[in-house]
Amino acid sequence: MGISQKVASYLEKGSWIRKMFEEGARLKAKFGEENVYDFSLGNPPEEPPREFLERVRSLLDRPGIHRYMPNAGFLEAREAVAQAVARDSGLPVEAGHVVMTVGAGGALNVALKALLDPGEQVIVIAPFFVEYRFYVDNHGGESVVVNSREDFSLDLEAISGAVNERTKAVLLNSPNNPTGVVYGQEEIQALGELLRERGRALGRDIYLLSDEPYRRLLYDGTVFPHVFQYVDNAIIATS
Ligand SMILES: Cc1ncc(COP(=O)(O)O)c(C=O)c1O
C-alpha cells in the first residue's frame, strides 16, 4: 500500500485505547452487550436527554445552517461559549477569543498547529493521555516528558529543568486522565509564575495548553482554578 511509513508505523503501534475498544465491540457481539464491561473509552451508556435531541433536530431546519460558516465557527456559538468562560473566569472573554472545534482533540491539534514551528518542544506531564504524543508529532513538534511527583502533583522543579530555548508549551490536563488528579490554585499559580519567569529569561512566550474536557466532572466541592486567572499565555481545550 502507498501510505507513508509514519502512518504505517502508527497503525502498527496504534492506540491501545482504540484496540481495547474494538476488542470490546468484538466481545459484545460474541457474548452479548450485557456480559462485557467496557472501560476503554468514556462512552456514556445512556442516550442524551430528549430536550437536547429535540433542540438539535430543530436547528437542522434553520435556513442557512447547511452552508459554509466562518472558519472559527458560528458567531452565535462562539459568543455563547465566550459568555460562559467570562462568567467562570471573571475575565473579559469575547467571541474573538473562541474557536469551535471537533472536541478537545481537535482543539489541541488546532492550537498546536497554530503554535509550533518545526522542532519546537511541548512538555507533557506523565502519566498522560496517550494521544498527546501523536498530537504534538502531527505538527512537527517534539514531546518532552516530565514525570509528576508520586502523589501526581506537579514537579515544578522538573518542569523548570525541562524548559529551554525550544520550549513552546506545557500541555496540562486537569481533571486528569488517567490519574484523576485535580491541580489546585497554588500549583497553577506557581506554574504560571514559572512559565512567565523562564519565558522572560529566554526571551520567548511559553504557553500553557490546558486540556479540560473533564472540568465539569468535579465532585464534593473540588474546584479546578481557571487558568486564565494565573497564566499569561493560556489556551483552554475542551469538549
Ligand atoms: C485527557 C483527554 N484529552 C482529550 C481527549 C479527546 O477529547 P475529545 O473526544 O473531546 O476529542 C480525551 C478523550 O478521551 C482525553 O481523555
Could you tell me the CATH number of the domain that includes residue 125?
A: 3.40.640.10
Q: Is residue 108 part of a domain?
A: yes
* Residue 28 domain flag: no
Say if ligand 1 is within 6 A of residue 173 CB. Answer: yes
Kindly tell me the burial class for residue 79, based on how many C-beta atoms sit within 10 Å of its own C-beta (0-12, 13-18, 19 or more).
Answer: middle
**pLDDT score at 25:** 92
- Residue 124 — very low, low, confident or very high, per pLDDT cuts 50/70/90? very high
As a whole-number percent, the residues of the chain with pLDDT over 90 amount to 84
Q: Let me know if residue 170 belongs to a domain.
A: yes
Res 238 pLDDT > 90 = yes
In a domain, 18, yes or no: no
Rounded-to-integer distance, Cα 156 and Cα 154, Å: 6
Q: pLDDT digit string (tens) for 183-194?
A: 999 999 999 999
Cα-to-centroid distance, 22 and ligand 1 (Å): 17
Assess whether the C-beta atom of 211 lies below 6 angstroms from ligand 1: yes
* Integer Cα distance of 208 and 164 in angstroms: 15
Residue 96 in contact with ligand 1 by CB distance below 6 A:
no
Residue 42 near ligand 1, beta carbon < 6 Å: yes
Mean pLDDT of 153-172: 98
Does any domain span residue 192?
yes
Instruction: Determine, yes or no, domain membership for 89.
Output: no
CB of 210 shorter than 6 A to ligand 1: no
Average the pLDDT over each of 38-42, 54-58, 144-148, 198-202 and give the range with the smallest value: 38-42
User: Is the CB–ligand 1 distance for residue 104 below 6 Å?
Assistant: yes
Number of domains in the chain: 1
| Percentage of the chain modeled with pLDDT above 70 | 99
Mutation test residue for ligand 1: of 15, 17, 129, the one with most atoms within 8 Å of CB = 129
pLDDT at 36 over 80: yes
C-alpha cell at 105: 482533540
- pLDDT for 16 beyond 90: no
Query: How high is the pLDDT of residue 134?
Result: 92
105 CA distance to ligand 1 centroid (A)? Answer: 6
pLDDT, tens digit (0-9, with 9 covering 90-100), for 98-116: 999 999 999 999 999 999 9
Quote the ligand 1 centre to 202 CA distance (angstroms): 32
Is 79 within a domain?
A: no
Contact criterion met (CB below 8 Å) for 194 and 160: yes
Residue whose grid cell is 520550549: 167
Report whether residue 175 contacts ligand 1, using a CB cutoff of 6 Å.
Answer: no
Q: Which of 43, 100, 211 to mutate to test the pocket of ligand 1 (most atoms within 8 A of CB)?
A: 211
Q: Which domain holds residue 119?
A: 102-237
> Is the distance from the beta carbon of residue 160 to the nearest atom of ligand 1 less than 6 Å?
no
CA distances (Å), origin 137, targets 57, 117, 212: 38, 11, 21
From 100, 124, 136, 177, give the residue whose CB has the most ligand 1 atoms within 8 Å, as the site to mutate. 177
Other C-beta atoms within 10 Å of 187: how many?
A: 18
Give 9's pLDDT tier (boundaries 50, 70, 90): confident
Q: What is the pLDDT of residue 71?
A: 94
In a domain, 54, yes or no: no
